[in-house]
Structure 1
């Protein structure tokens, strides 16, 4: 409810020109509004706080303070308390979200000392929050990752936030036997009210499982290549194709048998350019053999076990194989 004075201008309202008094538009009137205001914006709250400080200083400088001034002080103080309570509530909610997040989150100050360590990273590493807080981040990561993390923190503290940076972190307690944890992190600079960088927050993703699988694949791939490319005469002739039909493998025994080197046939169509008629590298004697070879390759592509079939061709020197 607000009691206004003047400038309402009701329809049909007229002044009595015979009497000397303030015109009727100056009469006080009551306005009642029932609703909720839209939420305050951050910049509006900042303006209110600035006004609060200005008013407070002006009142402090005044030698005398009447009842109305004390009332304003009281209301401003109430606004400050309410604003602080709202800020504390928001801060508490953010902390709760970080603590219960399903991804690992680590925060450090400008010196690299851990000041944030959520539940997920504690579960992954076996290092509880109480022991993690205050440790330098470089003492927690694996030695092989120290240079990577150093650079990550240095750039973040300069305001350059890197993304998708991979490094390994140590494990503790019951998690030691599982080995280090591999993380991919995004760095985010933490700033104070004056936009000064006061730390770095690292939001991570655990890729330990994916990395383990990839490492195994790389080892298997290395063993496979070591066998395929081995010039040992006990290794039989081997050739292969990718899913699109291009020749992807041609081992030394195959090169010896056909007279065609590996780099001369790889990345050519296995059926048509490598084996085929009449201009292929290894010319097949007849069309029936060509068709049968195509059936065998396509059967293997579908994941089925193809039948073994014999096929013959002419080597580079014209020798019948």
Structure 2
């Protein structure tokens, strides 16, 4: 895998500059009284959390591919734990969960890091889908069997399999591309996360028509359109650092941000079904790890497949 390359560093310099500006604007809004009470505290918590998250990402990018793979493996473990807490698991399911946490998860990331793409692509959606029901059925408890097994399988797909596609991008060697795959990972994370933030901003500024009120009351048509279009424009602006032409960057950014939105919507539907507001409280002001990964869960596999089909 390639080492950290300077374009990725410039992405993070830009993010830190944006965070400085956001911090100054937030402080001004709070001091002038335009934002106060719980809203002010939430805003401060969110910006503080972004400083920590971007700082951690910048650090692991400087440490190389192994650190990035390990970081997302730990994120997967935290996300899987969050998902498991809202499932209908019983004592008889503990063996299957233990295998999911301590065997399947590390093996998936080892396969990604060792650049064994065939087995990394098949481990969870084929072998684990066959193995986990066997482990559960041998316990002899059939009450809620389908629901319990399906929830564990779905948790592995979302929290481990899909997330592992992010470090898997680092294994790609695109002919004629002068930068490292680190830059492509940074591009994906920046565009998709920018879409999330911009959807929130546009929704607060212009949102009138609720998109899916029973799933996520805060999501609006205007917010979605403004966020996706703005983030796609960002993707186009960063096209010189990618192997894409400007129009290709725009289409790919539009695709991954759309899938990112759908991922967030589906994860919101799961939370509503279980009666929880956030997946957890690990990230102050943002909820849990899954609350931050929900967009990347759907967009990362699509982005990897686009690169594999179109540029390898």
Normalized per residue, which structure has more helix? 2
Normalized per residue, which structure has more strand? 1
Q: TM-score, normalised to structure 2's length?
A: 0.22
* Rg (Cα) greater in structure: 1
Higher-RCO chain (CA-CA 8 Å, sequence separation at least 6):
2
Q: TM-score, normalised to structure 1's length?
A: 0.22
